[in-house]
């Protein structure tokens, strides 16, 4: 009886500790999103400067991704589906690298290498988040789909997100500039999408091995 109480209490303390860690990482990510948004708005209002993206586009991207992560976290938490706070943090870090790379001219000074690294890691981060969600949904639904389908769905969705980003670049060029500036030529676009795909495949392969 005493040992049962001891193990129950130990289990409760472990769960409490994990919950505190989750809240720490999520709140850290939220603080990061707010900080980047405020810094972008500050630069936009007082310093401007030339960016590959538009200032409005930079601010909107960070804001929309943050909202998307909050909606995903709220929905999964409400339905009692686990969601790694590391996914939240990785989304913030990946987006920050893209934003600061644009604001400080890294896409130009290190081009094309910074762009290639950004697409490779971006594809990996997107796949990590999607894999985390689908894997926990699968567990919640008692393995309702196979590991093979988990791999295929993760990579396919990550690829579609990468395609969507290229499409946003095209729309921005047409609506904001009136001609091609952000979107590269056909070779650049295909390279970006291939790197997104490669990043997602590498990420899922690693996750399958160690998760």
How would you write the pLDDT of the chain (211 residues) with one tens digit per residue?
A: 444 433 443 343 334 444 666 788 889 999 999 999 999 999 888 877 777 777 888 888 899 999 999 999 888 888 888 888 888 889 999 989 888 888 888 877 666 688 888 889 999 999 999 999 998 888 888 777 788 899 999 999 999 998 888 887 777 777 776 666 666 666 777 888 899 999 999 999 988 876 6
Q: Measuring CA to CA, which residue among 99, 104, 69, 98 is closest to residue 84?
A: 69
Give the per-residue pLDDT at 203: 92
Q: Which two tokens stand for residue 11?
A: 């289990």
**What is the pTM for the complete model shown?**
0.80
1, 41, 105, 106, 118 from 97: Cα distances, Å: 54, 17, 12, 10, 8
Start-to-end CA span in the chain (Å): 34
Peptide bond into 112 cis (omega under 30): yes
């Amino acid at each position: 009886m005493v040992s049962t109480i001891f193990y129950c209490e130990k289990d409760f303390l472990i769960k409490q500790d994990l919950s505190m860690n989750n809240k720490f990482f999520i709140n850290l990510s939220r603080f990061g999103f707010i900080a980047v948004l405020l810094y972008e708005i500050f630069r936009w209002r007082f310093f401007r400067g030339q960016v590959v993206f538009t200032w409005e586009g930079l601010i909107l991207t960070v804001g929309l991704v943050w909202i998307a992560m909050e909606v995903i976290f709220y929905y999964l938490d409400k339905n009692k589906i686990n969601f790694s706070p590391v996914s939240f943090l990785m989304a913030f870090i990946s987006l920050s690298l893209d934003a600061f790379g644009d604001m400080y001219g890294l896409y130009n000074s290190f081009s094309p290498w910074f762009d290639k690294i950004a697409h490779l890691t971006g594809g990996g981060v997107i796949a990590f988040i999607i894999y985390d969600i689908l894997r926990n949904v699968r567990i919640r639904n008692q393995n309702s789909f196979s590991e093979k389908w988990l791999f295929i769905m993760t990579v396919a969705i990550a690829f579609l997100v990468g395609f969507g980003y290229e499409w946003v670049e095209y729309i921005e060029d047409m609506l904001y500039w009136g001609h091609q500036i952000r979107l590269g030529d056909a070779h650049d676009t295909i390279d970006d999408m291939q790197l997104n795909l490669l990043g997602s495949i590498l990420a899922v392969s690693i996750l399958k091995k160690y998760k």
